[in-house]
Amino acid sequence: MEHSLILLHDNRQVFTSDEHWLYPLFELELFLKDAAFPLDQLFLKDKIAGKAAASLIVRLGIRNCFIELLSERAIPVFEQYGVKYAYDQLVDHIQCRTEDLITDKMSMEDTYLFLRKRAGKVQGTSLKINSLTVDVAGKRILEKLDLELGRGEQLVVQGENGCGKSTLLRSILGLILPVSGSVSIGEELVGSAKWRKNSALTGYLNQETIKNYFPITAAEVVAIGVSGIKISNRERDYRVELSMRKTGSFHLQNQLYHQLSGGEKQRVSLARCLCQNARILLLDEPTSYLDEKGKEELGELLVDLSRNEAPTMLLVSHDTNWTNQLNWYKKTLKDGRLW
């Protein structure tokens, strides 16, 4: 087999890749998004497949495959999801660190997001907080707080009202100067000249506590995300539409923002963040003014963004009933520190 991966439809070659490791399968994912082939009529040929590759093949919806070198760890995955497979050579396992890091406790979606991160297929950037101490109005709010998030990771910070969750976000945004310690986004120290130049990499969703009746449409709110950069009107319109489609809010483009429901406003605000190509999203009590349906829809949207756009996301909330449904890593802010 000349190529590392080949996809056939009715015995006709419709896709090939010469990349290695899991990259051919991620390329195939992009191809299938725009293709109209019935998945049950496709046949995949791959050079080598272990548990990781098998998980991606399952998620792609491929039902039939041939693997030249197949790991025994891939077989339970194929059989659990009804994938028909054949192979030239079967081995106990493949010498790959990724294979060892995938556990049986991980769901298929957890595995997929993990593999995207390993492959660098994420939009997020890293966040590092080192011994951050912050005072507000003479009162100590954060005390030598440490936090580190990798690219594309998500974290929920829980805590009672007034414990400092919003102060934490405002410190990351550079709106509050710390007594000591530091915050870095990617390689840039918050407050530095380089950070100011790239401040659009951080997107922020507030609690929508202020009622604003300014006559601005939803699309104009999203366009604020690119207001600080020089692009053509065509490029601006393209980015606005793409961002609104990704968040399911494009149908709201011509409606006045202040007339939208709480859930619709959150979708538009997320679109604004995507429009500015934010690599880290900070969400401050995003369910404060949402009904149960709005909360459910927001949760589904955030999960979808974490899987597809994969920005780094830090969400603070006291609504534990809702955040528990996200199945993200969680920490509690108490006495100025994260536990």
* Range from 23-32, 137-146, 176-185, 206-215 carrying the lowest mean pLDDT: 206-215
Confidence of residue 112 (pLDDT cuts 50, 70, 90): confident
Q: Which of 140, 131, 106, 164 is nearest to 334 (CA)?
A: 164
pLDDT on residue 64: 96
Is the pLDDT assigned to residue 164 strictly greater than 90?
Answer: yes
Residue type (1 letter), 193 = A
pLDDT on residue 157: 96
Q: Which of 199, 337, 176, 311 is nearest to 328 (CA)?
A: 311
pLDDT on residue 283: 94
Are the C-beta atoms of residues 310 and 122 closer than 8 Å to each other? yes
241-300 tens-digit pLDDT? 999 998 999 999 999 999 999 889 999 999 999 999 899 999 999 988 888 988 999 999
Domain residue ranges of the chain, discontinuous segments joined by +: 5-118, 127-338
- The strands making up 127-136's β-sheet, listed across from edge to edge, are 139-149, 127-136, 180-185, 188-189
Q: Are strands 42-49 and 5-9 parallel, antiparallel or unpaired?
A: antiparallel
Between the alpha carbon of residue 136 and those of residues 129, 131, 141, 317, the distances in Å are: 18, 17, 7, 20
Is the pLDDT assigned to residue 181 strictly greater than 90?
Answer: yes
Say whether domain 5-118 belongs to CATH 3.40.140.30. Answer: yes
Decide: pTM greater than 0.75: no
Eight-state DSSP code of residue 130: E
pLDDT on residue 229: 82
Task: Give the residue, 168 or 232, on which the prediction is more confident.
Answer: 168
d(CA 103, CA 107): 9
Q: Which CATH superfamily is domain 127-338 in?
A: P-loop containing nucleotide triphosphate hydrolases (3.40.50.300)
pLDDT on residue 1: 53
Using a pLDDT cut of 90, give the percent of the chain over it.
Answer: 63
Confidence of residue 208 (pLDDT cuts 50, 70, 90): low
Provide mean pLDDT across the span 309-314: 87
DSSP string covering 203-265: EEE----S------BHHHHHHGGGTTS---HHHHHHHHHHHHHHTT-GGGTTSBGGGS-HHHH
d(CA 283, CA 337): 19
Residue 172, token pair as written in the block: 């990351």
Is the pLDDT assigned to residue 236 strictly greater than 80?
Answer: yes
Is the pLDDT assigned to residue 12 strictly greater than 60?
Answer: yes
209-230 tens-digit pLDDT? 556 677 899 999 999 999 878 8
